[in-house]
């Protein structure tokens, strides 16, 4: 339920029934994206563009110098009515999505970015030859880099020297392209099956046998139950050859990784009913002279008395296998395989997460470095108590971890190149970015930090309006158990509210639900807070980032733990005097939409809500979802009975507060009928309700115009129903049944 689909759309907005004199269908040329994920860019991009590069410290110093009005100079106005330069146009047009990074043979950074102005097309870009130069698009306009393997994709490209291998979105075939000869079109490596029915991901070049090894998902016979294998693709032939299966038999595979001599291959595999973060296995296969795997050893995950989920295997330059697993303390920590004894040893133990759940392919949480004095230094990122850190450790047990001082408080992936680390990250004032971190000779300090790529390079000009997230820990309904959230207070240098008033609150329930919300700059959140709303982003029980025990709170209790924790968080903020208890609203998309609908059906904490393609019928989701998550719902929902009892669609009589629903008409995960049934029931019951439907949209919306439309309609819906204020922006509200 991590929403990553991209679609081209027009929208149909329906907001009343034929029995109403106000009934009509309105056709807009608009579209929208849920804001539970990082927003994508609407920036016009050319084949060659001005390269964005700035020194973070200089930019922040310039930003800090902005004059902010004193309290006496600020306009006193009700919360929610403040005027802000962070408009929906700024939000919808200000950011791009990053799809991974790599380094070519010359040490240059290559990144994958999606472009909503080009219908979400994924484009590989290489950094300029010289600082201040122009970045260059690698991907020809008729191609788009994206794989749909395992539904959510990731790992869509691999760079080796001067060659890039990538999956093309339209036909899902693998292609090879020269980086230095961009006038030469990409060459297909895999057969044409007459449609995008076979996908590839997470590949690696095998120099020894001149082949490319990749995870393959084959949907030729069944789209609901495709076959997943690890295959090899020959590179020497002029014509695309049928890939050869190297490893098969398990339900899922990821991270095929070769040792330096291509004599051994490691990989991760798992099978139903487990998700990869529940229980997986790490295997090593020995490669024969003819390229086949003749012997296999299970390194981790086969001990029935030891529950673990190994991930991210990687071979060092001298042929030692490292990986991350949560076998001992319940946190994903670095480990090493002692091949001679088939034994696993911890490299560094810490109650922190050195990896993330495997929703997508291609994650890279650590890299090997070389220094003049020590071998196999490991640059790694880890997450502890809501914050990310970049550290350097060596492979000696008990060694000290050296934390590098960089501005990012959130880190996704890292890529190494000579004396540099390219770090994908963000912070409360940095949007999703890639920074070039220069290390000293000993690889123990960061001596320079420069932003190479930014999803929103102009965002700093709004910095005086940014609300900084406060990590809060609040008690849940279970005695002794706490959960976490990021609280954003209303912030606007031009306005203030009266001392007697407390702000309205918008609570966001993230999707996944095995995901983690992070306290980074998100202009859609700033859209709310700069207008006088308080905003809170909840990491309810079941979220990642806090260890296995916290993550497994949700097993069998989805629709209970998440709902209770969101309600507890809102109540905590009311009791702390931070927000108005009579103006509590909730929003969420996909699984977050389910939590939103369940909270509105089964609890009385919130006064209004917005569901973005939210799951309303859990049993229908169990029956119709794709292979990757086909048993996930059983583990979360407590079987058919639990899923029925906790499905809001089966309890529409319990809804009693206003709801606005947003739904894609081509959504295969959450069919439109679910939203329509809730809409119809609330309309008949007399509860204020509105429904917005988007033609051509799937599960998760991508168009920049949709971000704009959805933010505006949520804002004005909440303002009219529970806000008791007039919005400052010129928004034409859609009709609300049982209200207008």
At residue 645, the 3 state secondary structure works out as helix
For residue 575 the two structure tokens come to 């009791």
| Distance (Å, whole) CA 597 – CA 563 | 9
pLDDT of residue 109: 94
Three-state SS string across 555-582, please? CCCCCCHHHHHHHHHHHHHHHCCCCCCC
pLDDT of residue 664: 85
Residues of the domain holding 412: 365-454
Per-residue b or e along 263-292, where b marks 16 or more CB atoms closer than 10 Å to that residue's CB: ebbbbbbbeeebbbbbbbbbbbbebeeebe
- For residue 288, being part of any structural domain is answered with no
Q: How many domains does the chain have?
A: 1
What are phi and psi for residue 149, nearest 5 degrees?
A: -60, 135
* CA dist 186 → 98, 110, 119, 243, 455 (Å): 22, 17, 21, 18, 27
Three-state SS string across 436-489, please? EEEECCCCCCEEEEEEEEECCCCHHHHHHHCCCCEEEEEECCCCCCEEEEEEEC
| pLDDT single digits (tens) 458-467 | 888 999 999 9
- For residue 307, being part of any structural domain is answered with no
- For residue 394, being part of any structural domain is answered with yes
pLDDT of residue 120: 77
Q: Are 344 and 398 in contact (CB under 8 A)?
A: no
- For residue 450, being part of any structural domain is answered with yes
Q: Are 143 and 186 in contact (CB under 8 A)?
A: yes
Of residues 637, 696, 689, the one with CA closest to residue 665: 696
* pTM (predicted TM-score): 0.88
At residue 434, the 3 state secondary structure works out as strand
Strand partners, 284: 266, 297
Q: Are 516 and 545 in contact (CB under 8 A)?
A: yes
Of residues 33, 117, 10, 2, the one with CA closest to residue 701: 33
Give, as one character, the DSSP assignment of residue 737: B
- In the numeric block, the tokens 């296998």 are attached to 321
Q: Are 566 and 586 in contact (CB under 8 A)?
A: yes
Of residues 175, 119, 142, 93, the one with CA closest to residue 5: 119
* CA dist 80 → 529, 532, 580, 719 (Å): 8, 4, 12, 8
| Distance (Å, whole) CA 142 – CA 132 | 28
pLDDT of residue 627: 92
pLDDT of residue 49: 36
- For residue 512, being part of any structural domain is answered with no
| pLDDT single digits (tens) 689-735 | 999 988 777 777 666 777 788 899 999 999 999 998 999 999 999 99
- For residue 335, being part of any structural domain is answered with no
pLDDT of residue 46: 35
* CA dist 63 → 56, 57, 58 (Å): 10, 10, 9
Mean pLDDT of successive 10-residue segments in the chain (740 residues)? 39 33 26 29 34 38 49 90 93 78 94 83 91 89 95 95 96 96 95 96 97 97 94 91 96 98 98 96 98 97 94 95 96 96 94 96 93 77 96 78 95 90 95 94 91 89 96 96 98 96 98 93 95 98 96 96 98 98 96 96 97 92 87 90 93 94 83 90 94 80 76 95 93 93
For residue 402 the two structure tokens come to 């050296």
Q: Are 173 and 199 in contact (CB under 8 A)?
A: no
């Amino acid at each position: 339920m991590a929403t990553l689909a991209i679609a081209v759309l027009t929208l149909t907005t329906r907001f009343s029934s034929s029995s109403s004199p106000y009934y009509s269908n309105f056709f807009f040329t608009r579209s929208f994206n849920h804001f539970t994920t990082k927003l994508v860019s609407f920036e016009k991009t050319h084949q060659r563009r001005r390269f964005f590069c700035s020194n973070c410290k200089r930019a922040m110093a310039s930003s800090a110098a902005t004059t902010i009005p004193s309290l006496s100079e600020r306009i006193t106005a009700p919360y929610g009515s403040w005027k802000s330069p962070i408009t929906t146009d700024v939000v919808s047009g200000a950011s791009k999505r990053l799809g991974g990074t790599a380094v070519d043979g010359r040490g240059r950074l290559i990144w994958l970015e999606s472009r909503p102005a080009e219908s979400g097309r994924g484009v590989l870009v290489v950094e300029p030859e010289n600082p201040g130069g122009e970045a260059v698009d690698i991907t020809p306009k008729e191609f788009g880099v994206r794989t749909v393997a395992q539904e959510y994709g990731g790992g869509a490209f691999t760079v080796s020297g001067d060659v890039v291998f990538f999956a093309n979105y339209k036909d899902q075939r693998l292609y090879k392209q020269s980086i230095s000869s961009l006038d030469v079109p990409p060459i297909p490596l895999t057969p044409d099956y007459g449609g995008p029915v076979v996908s590839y991901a997470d590949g690696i070049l095998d120099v020894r046998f001149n082949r490319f090894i990749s995870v393959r998902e084959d949907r030729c016979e069944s789209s609901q139950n495709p076959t997943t294998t690890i295959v090899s693709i020959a590179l020497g032939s002029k014509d695309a050859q049928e890939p050869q299966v190297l490893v098969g038999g398990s339900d899922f595979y990821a991270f095929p990784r070769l040792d330096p001599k291509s004599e051994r291959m490691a990989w991760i595999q798992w099978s139903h009913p487990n998700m990869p973060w529940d229980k997986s296995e790490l295997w090593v296969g020995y490669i024969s002279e003819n390229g086949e795997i003749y012997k296999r050893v299970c390194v981790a995950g086969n001990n029935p008395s030891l529950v673990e989920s190994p991930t991210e295997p990687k071979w060092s330059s001298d042929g030692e296998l490292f990986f991350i697993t949560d076998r001992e303390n319940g946190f994903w920590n670095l480990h090493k395989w002692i091949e001679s004894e088939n034994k696993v040893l911890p490299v560094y133990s810490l109650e922190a997460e050195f990896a993330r759940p495997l929703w997508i392919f291609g994650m890279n949480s650590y890299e090997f470095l070389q220094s003049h004095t020590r071998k196999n230094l490991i640059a790694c990122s880890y997450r502890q108590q809501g914050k990310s850190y970049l550290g350097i450790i060596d492979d000696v047990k008990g060694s000290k971890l050296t934390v590098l001082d960089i501005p990012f408080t959130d880190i996704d992936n890292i890529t190494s190149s000579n004396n540099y680390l390219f770090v994908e990250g963000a912070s409360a004032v940095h949007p999703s970015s890639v920074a070039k971190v220069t290390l000293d000779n000993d690889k123990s300090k960061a001596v320079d930090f420069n932003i190479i790529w930014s999803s929103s390079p102009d965002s700093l000009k709004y910095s005086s309006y940014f609300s900084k997230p406060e990590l809060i820990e609040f008690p849940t309904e279970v005695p002794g158990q706490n959960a976490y959230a990021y609280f954003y207070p209303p912030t606007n240098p031009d306005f203030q509210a009266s001392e007697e008033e407390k702000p309205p609150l918008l609570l966001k329930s993230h999707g996944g639900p095995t995901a983690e919300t992070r306290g980074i700059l998100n202009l859609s959140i700033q859209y709310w807070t700069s207008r006088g709303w308080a905003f809170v982003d909840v990491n309810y029980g079941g979220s990642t980032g806090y260890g296995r025990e916290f993550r497994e709170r949700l097993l069998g209790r989805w629709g209970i733990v998440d709902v209770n924790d969101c309600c507890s968080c809102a109540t905590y903020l009311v009791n702390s005097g931070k927000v108005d208890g009579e103006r509590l609203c909730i929003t969420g998309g996909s699984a977050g939409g389910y939590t939103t609908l369940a909270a509105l059906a089964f609890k009385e904490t919130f006064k209004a809500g917005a569901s973005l393609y939210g799951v309303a019928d859990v049993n229908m989701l169990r029956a119709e979802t794709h292979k990757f998550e086909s048993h996930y719902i059983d583990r979360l929902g407590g079987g058919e009975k639990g899923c029925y009892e906790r499905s809001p669609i089966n309890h529409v009589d319990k809804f009693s507060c206003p709801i606005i629903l947003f739904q894609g008409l081509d959504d295969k995960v959450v069919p439109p009928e679910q939203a329509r049934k809730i809409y119809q029931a609330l309309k008949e019951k007399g509860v204020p309700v509105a429904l917005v439907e988007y033609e051509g949209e799937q599960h998760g919306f991508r168009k920049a115009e949709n971000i704009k439309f959805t933010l505006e309609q949520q804002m004005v819906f909440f303002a009219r129903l529970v806000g008791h204020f007039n919005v400052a922006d010129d928004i034409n509200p859609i009709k609300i049944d049982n209200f207008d």
